[in-house]
Amino acid sequence: MARDAERPPLAVTMGEPAGIGGEIALAAWRARNAKAVPQFFLFDDPIRLRALIKQLDWQIEIREIAAPDEVHAVFPDAVPVLPIDLPAPVTPGRIDPANSAKVVESIREAVAIVQAGEARALVTNPIQKSTLYDAGFSHPGHTEFLATLAGATQAPVMMLACPELRVVPVTVHLPLRDAVAALRREDIIHCATVTAEALTRDFGIAPPRLSVAGLNPHAGENGSLGREEKDIIAPAVEALKSRGLAIDGPHPADTMFHPRARAGFDAAICMYHDQALIPLKTIDFDRGVNITLGLPFVRTSPDHGTALAIAGKGIANPASMIEALTAADRMSVRRAARASATAGG
């Protein structure tokens, strides 16, 4: 593997400027040596970052760069920042709609940088979607917006990961009754297929083992507690087995996540949002990472929101950001190595 200084850096987006994104990114840079944080640059407003540093009373230098290839020379001594000019001053914890259009624009420009190969992966800070809709943001979330920008030919898949568990929800941001109604055999097959491909390509797991959760208590009790397992989930699992995937289920979700059960699979395919996120956040609340599968580039994000209530106070935990950077580093290196081996073969 090439050394960090010989590879393009990671690009970190600004996210909601009034949130904790800038704070946890700066904290990750502070931990660069102790935590072996890979080299990155911030796509951000230097003025707001310097004001934040002053408020936090941290001894950090910001250094503006003109291009990502300057990061290697800057990163050991200062935080490299590719400048964005926000139209309004930023007060931590107070969202200003005047900056919303710039937040959306910054995501577009960061994706373009990654697609051009100037950065090898994208790490996104949390956004406040409710304030972006008036600025032309019409997507349910970051994931769907990135898929559109990337021109993805298939629906992206959201994986949440921590060192001890990986989970993939088939239905995501839907009310529970709508998630049950929306559950389809085809979507389970799609999520499992994309997950297996990513585990092999980006995580170096071959062959990956998948475990599928049921929807109902006791996985439906053979239909007496619901028909979804018999009519939707089990047929999807059998179809995936016929394609050669190492997959089993549906299993009762309440017995899938204890340590002995987790040792039997590399990722769990879950039927709805909380079924996936509750076990992950219970096992490791601070180090969860949101990973988008199915994009032509690597994208990770801290698995938390903007945390406006604590922004600018110096108490935000950077562990999830550090894990997101580390995951993006490992995944991008493996993806590049696999692409190189495939091209050479």
Instruction: Dump pLDDT digits (tens) for 15-68.
Output: 999 999 999 999 999 999 999 999 999 999 999 999 999 999 999 999 999 999
Average pLDDT, the chain: 94
* Among 3, 10, 66, CA closest to 39: 10
Q: What is d(CA 202, CA 327) in angstroms, rounded to the nearest whole number?
A: 10
* 8 Å CB contact between 289 and 303: yes
pLDDT computed for residue 6 by the predictor? 77
Q: Quick one: residue 298, left, alpha or beta (phi over 0 = left, psi -120 to 50 = alpha)?
A: beta
Q: Which residues contact 335 (CB under 8 A, 6 or more apart)?
A: 201, 202, 298
* 8 Å CB contact between 228 and 220: yes
CB atoms within 10 A of CB 333: 20
* 43: phi then psi, degrees, rounded to nearest 5: -95, 90
* 8 Å CB contact between 293 and 75: no
- 326 vs 39, 90, 113, 286, CA distance in Å? 10, 29, 19, 14
pLDDT computed for residue 1 by the predictor? 36
Domain spanning 164-283, CATH class: alpha beta
pLDDT computed for residue 212 by the predictor? 98
Locate CATH 3.40.718.10 in the chain. Answer: 1-155+295-345, 164-283
Q: Candidates 3.40.50.970, 3.40.718.10, 3.30.1550.10, 3.40.50.170; correct CATH number of 1-155+295-345?
A: 3.40.718.10
* 8 Å CB contact between 26 and 41: no
pLDDT computed for residue 5 by the predictor? 66
pLDDT computed for residue 2 by the predictor? 44
Classified as helix, coil or strand, 165 is: strand
Below-70 pLDDT ranges, the chain:
1-5, 344-345
Residue with tokens 């956004």: 127
Radius of gyration over every alpha carbon of the chain, rounded to an integer in angstroms: 21
pLDDT computed for residue 3 by the predictor? 59
Longest dimension (CA), the chain: 64
